Amino acid sequence: MSPKVERRFLLFLLAILLALAPAAPGTWRPSDGPGVSTGSPAQESARPQYTGPGSCASTSCHGSVKPRSETRVLQDEYSTWVVKDRHSKAYDALAGPVGVRMARILGLGEPQKAPRCLACHALDVPAAERARTFDLSEGVSCESCHGPASQWLGRHTTKEWESLSGADKARYGMYDTADAIRRAEKCLTCHLGNSEKFVDHELIAAGHPDLFFELDSFSAVMPRHWKQPTEKDPWQGVREWGTGQAVQLRASLERLGARARGKVWPEYAELQCFACHHNLTRAEDSWRQERGYPGRRPGNAPWNASRYAVFRELARQVDADLAGKLDAEMAKLWETMSHLSPGRDAVVTQAESAAAIIEPIAARLNGQAYDAPLTLRLLQRICAQADSIAGQGERAAEQAAMALQSLYIAYSRNAKPANAEEVRAAINELFRLLENPSNYHPSRFAAALRKIATLLR
């Protein structure tokens, strides 16, 4: 038995002992009512602590080997995470050849001790917030998303807990992952980054992959360890996709503004990577040379606005007026970012103006009623912008491919079109065209999008 497996087994035993132990004086019981604690003021004001995933591992909690359909939750969440979810291996990845090489290049020492790496590859919280059962090596674990469990671990097993709102649960440290906006915001703290943890041009040059994100697709690949409420909302996947699109665009604008205020500016990671990193020796190898550089000088890499390429079509479908205002603000930001040395203040102002418009659109998308006609319209609109999206480069094409896949999964499941397999094969071709970004060519990707357009019905 490896040290990590042995440790998880010991934590599992501890979780059982805690579950069987009698309630200590001052703990919350169901009879106390929702949101009520009999603990002392000192106990309630204490900083919440992270207890580690072992506290979730009991088979009667979230450690079942098989999902239990008869219960409100699957109860195999811990098992799914530890066996199938890459988040559980995030810390271990730092000790792999890529992590070690990057740390050597950047002069970070041991990557599993470097705060810059641990910020996203582990739950690197202050020592005062770590319970005795906490271990940094567990990687990105339960509390990375759900919040420190010390004040809600016992409470959340009661019936009364379910009557509490997300805001009430947050008082005890539990993060509201049920809300798609909040969940996307949590994911994007690492899968996009913010002012405190991020992947910049230096990290990418050292070997870290560039970051991209799409909430519904990433949730499916995770894989999901929660029940999708498809019996109540068969279009839940479309809701998650749309809401995630809005939140990631807003977060990218907030990150852009933060970088414009930072020490390094311009930050090249905000630009289109392959505008520079491609073959320039022969014109026939460079579709950019063949096309030219409309609106900018050669050598001036354009801003990576890929997170807007698809979202603009969605915004137009749900609120044409706000979409028009957002288009205008994004055009101004594009113009500002097209200069060789974009002014910091202008970038901050334009990014904030655009981000403010997205807030009500995100709320609208989260509460929007989705159906087959709307989903089909979105699929058709994305394909109709084949040349525009493809011409914006690899990252925009990537967003289009993920969007079509996510939307069509929901559409085919509910509308049951006769040619579903043919459409899926055509969407898979988009991903094949993106396998090697250096070989990407917009005309081929646009042609593949137009083919999908002819199949949609």
For every residue of 157-171, DSSP letters joined together read: GSTGGGGS-HHHHHT
- State yes or no: pLDDT of 340 exceeds 90: no
Give pLDDT tens digits for 42-93: 344 478 999 999 999 999 899 999 998 788 889 999 999 999 999 999 999 9
* Range in 134-143, 280-289, 400-409 the model is least confident about: 280-289
Q: For residue 158, which of 284, 33, 314, 52 has the smallest C-alpha distance?
A: 33
- Are 301 and 405 within one domain? yes
CB 53 within 8 A of CB 141: yes
Q: How far apart are CA 328 and CA 453, in angstroms?
A: 28
Q: How far apart are CA 65 and CA 60, in angstroms?
A: 11
Q: Would residue 189 count as lying in a domain?
A: no
In percent, the amount of the chain with pLDDT more than 70 equals 88
- pLDDT of res. 23: 36
Q: Would residue 134 count as lying in a domain?
A: yes
Write out the DSSP string of 75-131: S-HHHHHHHH-GGGGHHHHTTSHHHHHHHHHHT-SSGGG-HHHHHHHS----GGGB-
Q: How far apart are CA 124 and CA 117, in angstroms?
A: 10
- Are 237 and 346 within one domain? yes
Q: How far apart are CA 306 and CA 245, in angstroms?
A: 11
Tokens 């933060």 sit on residue: 258
Q: Could you tell me the two tokens for 378?
A: 């979105």
Q: How far apart are CA 51 and CA 129, in angstroms?
A: 9
Collapsing DSSP to helix, strand or coil, 259 comes out as helix
Give the domain range for residue 300.
Answer: 201-455
The chain-wide mean pLDDT, for the chain, equals 88
Mean pLDDT for the stretch of residues 394-398: 95
Burial class of 173 by CB neighbour count within 10 A (0 to 12, 13 to 18, 19+): buried
Q: Would residue 191 count as lying in a domain?
A: no
Q: Would residue 390 count as lying in a domain?
A: yes
- Are 235 and 376 within one domain? yes
Q: Would residue 375 count as lying in a domain?
A: yes
Mean pLDDT for the stretch of residues 280-306: 75
Q: How confident is the model at residue 282 (pLDDT cuts 50, 70, 90)?
A: low
Please give the helix or strand (H or E) that residue 146 lies within, else none: helix 142-146
- State yes or no: pLDDT of 303 exceeds 70: yes
State how many domains the chain has. Answer: 2
- State yes or no: pLDDT of 378 exceeds 80: yes
Say what the pTM is.
Answer: 0.86
Q: How far apart are CA 398 and CA 306, in angstroms?
A: 8
Q: Would residue 54 count as lying in a domain?
A: yes
* Range in 6-15, 66-75, 92-101, 188-197 the model is least confident about: 6-15
Q: How confident is the model at residue 291 (pLDDT cuts 50, 70, 90)?
A: confident
Q: How far apart are CA 389 and CA 399, in angstroms?
A: 9
Q: For residue 207, which of 287, 127, 93 has the smallest C-alpha distance?
A: 93
- State yes or no: pLDDT of 139 exceeds 50: yes
Q: Could you tell me the two tokens for 403?
A: 């969007």
CB 297 within 8 A of CB 288: no
Tokens 């998303």 sit on residue: 145
- Are 322 and 424 within one domain? yes
Q: How far apart are CA 122 and CA 352, in angstroms?
A: 30
Q: How confident is the model at residue 180 (pLDDT cuts 50, 70, 90)?
A: very high
CB 267 within 8 A of CB 203: no
- Are 153 and 220 within one domain? no
- Are 236 and 332 within one domain? yes
- Are 161 and 207 within one domain? no
- Are 134 and 279 within one domain? no
- pLDDT of res. 231: 63
- State yes or no: pLDDT of 112 exceeds 90: yes
Among 110, 143, 176, the domain boundary falls at 176
Collapsing DSSP to helix, strand or coil, 140 comes out as coil
